[in-house]
Chains A and B, each alone.
Chain A
Amino acid sequence: DIQMTQSPSSLSASVGDRVTITCRASQSISNHLNWYQQKPGKAPKLLIYAASNLQSGVPSRFSGSGFGSEFTLTISSLQPEDFATYYCQQSHGALTWTFGQGTKVEIK
């Protein structure tokens, strides 16, 4: 099974900061990597699909990059509504999926 490891598990940042979250796969997954945002008590929301493609309606301050086994989610200028938990998800392995453990972005 493909394992996904996110880092850091949590971070504190201020409004306006640039934030980067990393997701590493235990084997190459090409660009079969998606990113989600989840706020407390809410369902996850798709931000980025296929490693670097912005989902419709998602602000352009969010971006994704990477290929193979290392991926990043970047928020170029953190806004108050961006404080949430972020998950990566691989969709490469034999039609079985794995999520990363999550990264909680908190207010500094």
Chain B
Amino acid sequence: EVQLVESGGGLVQPGGSLRLSCAASGFTFSNYWMTWVRQAPGKGLEWVANVKQDGSATYYADSVKGRFTISRDNAKNSLYLQMNSLRAEDTAVYYCGMYTSGYYGIDSWGQGTLVTVSS
């Protein structure tokens, strides 16, 4: 059974940093693109970043470019999101997801981890 489990969320002050992790199991992690999608409280879904199977290519939403870094460790079956220079508007539930190709959609998601940016 495919499982994606996010961790690392919490309360952080504006300007601070946080690193989210997503532990994957039940599938061959290195065969899949991975993504982060977030959802601010009471709001819709916002795509954050994608990373290729071998980590050689990454893509970011304009709202996080230059502040967030997506990475992966295929030996540890883990996905990461390093978030720096956090702002109040980054407050959201962050979901990790897996996909073979954007054409086929995000076919499995984690349960999400809440990040709150507040003083």
Contacts and interface: CB of A to CB of B under 8 A. Distances in A.
Interface of A: 1, 32, 34, 36, 38, 43-46, 48-50, 55, 85, 87, 89, 91-92, 94-102
Interface string B48-66: 0010000001011110000
The number of chain B residues touching the other chain, given as a range, is: 20 to 34
A50 B44 contact: no
Interface stretch (B14-22, B69-77, B83-91, B100-108): B100-108
Given A43-B95, A96-B61, A100-B44, A55 B107 contact: yes
A48 B103 CA distance: 11
Contacts of A36: 45, 105-106
B66 to A, nearest CB: 15
A48 B106 CA distance: 10
A38 B112 CA distance: 13
B111 A98 contact: no
A49 B105 contact: yes
Interface in B93-119: 95, 102-107, 109-112
Contacts of A46: 105-107
B102 to A, nearest CB: 3
Contacts of A101: 44
Given A43-B110, A43-B111, A87-B44, A96 B59 contact: yes
Contacts of B46: 99
A96 B109 CA distance: 18
B103 A50 contact: yes
A42 B50 CA distance: 21
Given A1-B62, A43-B95, A91 B105 contact: yes
25 contacts: A36-B45, A38-B45, A43-B109, A43-B112, A44-B95, A44-B106, A45-B109, A46-B107, A49-B103, A49-B105, A49-B107, A50-B104, A55-B105, A87-B44, A89-B45, A89-B105, A95-B57, A95-B59, A95-B102, A96-B60, A96-B61, A97-B47, A97-B50, A99-B45, A102-B45
